[in-house]
Structure 1
Amino acid sequence: MPGFTPIVGAPFGVESAFDLSQPLDAVDAYAIRKAFAEHKLLVFRNQHLSQDEQARALGALGNVLPVGREVAEVSVDGTLGSTALAFHSDLSFTEEPIKVLSLHAIDVEEGETVTRFAHAIAAARHLSPALRDRLSRTSALALMAIVQSRRAIPAVIPDILPRAERPAVIPHPVTGEAILYVSEMQTVRLDGMNETDSDELLHLLFGLLYAPGNVYEHRWRSGDLVIWDNYALQHGRPDLSGVARRRLQRACVADHDFAELCPDFNSSDPRVKAIGRGEDYLADTAVY
């Protein structure tokens, strides 16, 4: 049965050396579910897993999307490249965000590349009861970000980009814990406020979310498998320019993939490419 210990020096998360290359029995799967529900982030060290083995292990936590329906690998010379990524939760701009994410270090420069995690449940606990209640009744607009390296909110919200509205504080879909569900990459504004007031409150909330004591920085070692709750935790990374090797195998728990949730989105649309270049989006009929 997997045994878990706190990650040394981390504000949250636990780690284990349990070998996931073999099928899990009912007791093993229960232990993983229990630890995941409590800690939200699990690190398994010294793993050597194929894509199928990673998916099988992740299956203890729910329905794993097959390869081909979601990004299966992240690398500095491939998907997502080496640019910085602002804090975000995958597909939070849709009606069904990804539930669980996992990355497995197949080939990395030891200790030279990181992923950062911010605990949105812990941040919600630091809200005053009055503010938590207010935010649970205040809608936050999340937009698919074309510029992902920093917070870059367009002056006019493009109607061609997927978006979703939900309260700024939501209950966790499994545990019911309050989650501060806003992010620097994807949250555009808070409803019922003018732009200045919304930006000021978001700035305060980001201060809670991304305070050093609320962030775990995982330094990758080959063989690491990190599994995290995509509702409870946000993730991001610094610029990775100069990192020669960073190949991470990816699998996720979700009911639907991006194509199913956003069937009308077209990444080849010239308006999307223009937004990515930093040009202002003016109207649905704008020509670039």
Structure 2
Amino acid sequence: MTTSDLCGHRLTPMEPFGIRLDAAMPGTPVGDLPVDRLRELAREHHLLLLRGFRGFDGAGELAEYSARWGELGMWPYGAVLELVEHDDPEDHIFDHRYVPLHWDSMYREQVAEFQVFHCVDAPGAQDGGRTTFTQTEAVLRQADPAHRRLWEQVTGRYRRAVTDYSGECVSPVVTTHPDGFPVIRYNEPVPPGEEFINHPELEFTGVGEERLPEFHRTLQAALHDPRHQYAHAWRTGDVVVADNYTLLHGREAFASRSPRHLQRVHVLGTPPMENTALVR
């Protein structure tokens, strides 16, 4: 593993992908870092972790900082989603259970390029709650050719009817990144026996019903392969920028009532990427 530096702060590659920037002096404001260089790192490495820096005093400050990365994706609740367990959750994002791999903005007019996460309060080391990220370009590059040919034949149709997240989209499982290389767009089915609130309706076509079990089995094995998946254990103050064009992400279950509080902002690309998968 090699290290370098950015403005005197230490850059270290992560495994199996991503890059971490550690503050040379704990408490250095995140806003002091050059966003243009951070954006380059996020695009090159697909995941950027800023650790040891001073975070944000409230959602407004996070939104103001994120706007330096590009145009914000706005929701009925505003720019900042508060990801914290609710007493009586109406959707899985406010629950403590497992969340399968998916991509963000699948039901929106425009697809976010970046997710900016800020950890307000991290769960305990034994409480779970890691966020999982899978680098789908690498999955395809290293896939068994027969498996990849199967995946390339399949199209997914996804429907949700939940406040703020309702919609329908249809996307080939293997599609194209705006820069021209292949990536995977897939909303993973919930494993048998897992409880899940408001899972979308899923339909996969393009191959016969008899081949769908093989499709899901081989694709999920590749997506969860340690060569392609990184699971982030949160620390309070962490800022993570994820490439939503390339990665899929999910969440491991965490101990209910543990202090897990993340904030998330969507940043659109330049120009914004229109969601051609959306059924209007």
Contact preservation (8 Å) 1:21, 1:53: no
1:178-226 deviations in whole A, cap 9, x for unaligned?
A: 1022231469344332222123212211111111222111111110011
Alignment of 1:122-133 (within 5 A): 122-128=138-144, 132=148
Does residue 77 of structure 1 match 2:86? yes
* Counterpart for residue 143 of structure 1: 158
Read off the aligned partner of 1:53 and give its amino acid letter. Answer: E
Taking the aligned partners of 1:108 and 1:75, their CA distance within structure 2 comes to 11
Query: Which segment is superposed worse, 123-132 or 213-222?
Result: 123-132
Task: Indicate the residue corresponding to 2:46 in structure 1.
Answer: 40
The answer for the alignment partner of 2:61 in structure 1 is 53
Partner Cα separation in structure 2 for residue 187 and residue 16 of structure 1: 39
Residue number among 217, 220, 243 corresponding to 1:206 in the alignment? 220
The alpha-carbon distance between structure 1 residues 166 and 115, as it changes in their structure 2 partners (threshold 3 A), is: same
Moved over 6 A (4+): none
Tell me the residue number matched to 1:269.
none
CA separation in 2, counterparts of 1:141 and 1:62? 30
Q: Which whole-Å CA distance do the structure 2 matches of 1:244 and 1:199 have between them? A: 36
| Partner of residue 115, structure 2 | 101
Count of residue pairs the alignment pairs up: 241
Secondary structure at 1:12 match in 2: coil
Q: CA RMSD in A?
A: 3.2
Relative to the length of structure 2, the TM-score reads 0.72
1:116-172, Cα deviation, whole Å (9 max, x unpaired): 111111111123567656755x3512314579xxxxxxxxxxxxx632222221121
Going by fraction, where is strand more abundant, 1 or 2? 2
**Percent identity between the two aligned chains:** 26
Alpha-carbon separation, structure 2, partners of 1:226 and 1:99: 13
Partner residue in 1 for 2:249: 235
Q: Are residues 1:64 and 2:72 paired?
A: yes
Amino acid at match of 1:54: L
**TM-aligned CA deviation for residue 17 of structure 1:** 3.2
- Aligned equivalent of 1:178, options 165, 168, 182: 182
In 2, distance between residues paired with 1:246 and 1:187? 28
* Cα distance in 1 between the residues matched to 2:160 and 2:142: 27
| Cα pair 1:189 1:199 within 8 Å, conserved | no
TM-superposed deviation, 1:246: 0.8
TM-score (norm 1): 0.71
Separation in 1, partners of 2:130, 2:120: 14
Distance 1:141 1:178 in 2: 16
- Give the letter for the 1:48 counterpart: G
Distance 2:55 2:230 in 1: 24
State the distance in 1 between where 2:83 and 2:266 align.
13
* Residues 89, 233 of structure 1: 8 Å contact kept: yes
Residue equivalent to 2:194: none
Partners of 2:134 and 2:227 in 1: how far apart? 9
Return the alpha-carbon distance in structure 2 between the equivalents of residues 124 and 20 of structure 1: 38
After superposition, the C-alpha distances for 1:85-133 in whole angstroms (9 at most, x for unaligned) are 1111123255643322122111223434311111111111123567656
Given that 1:61 and 1:253 are in contact with CA atoms closer than 8 Å, whether structure 2 keeps it comes out as yes
- Write the letter of the residue equivalent to 1:6: P
The answer for the alignment partner of 1:268 in structure 2 is: none
- What residue in structure 2 maps to residue 244 of structure 1? 258
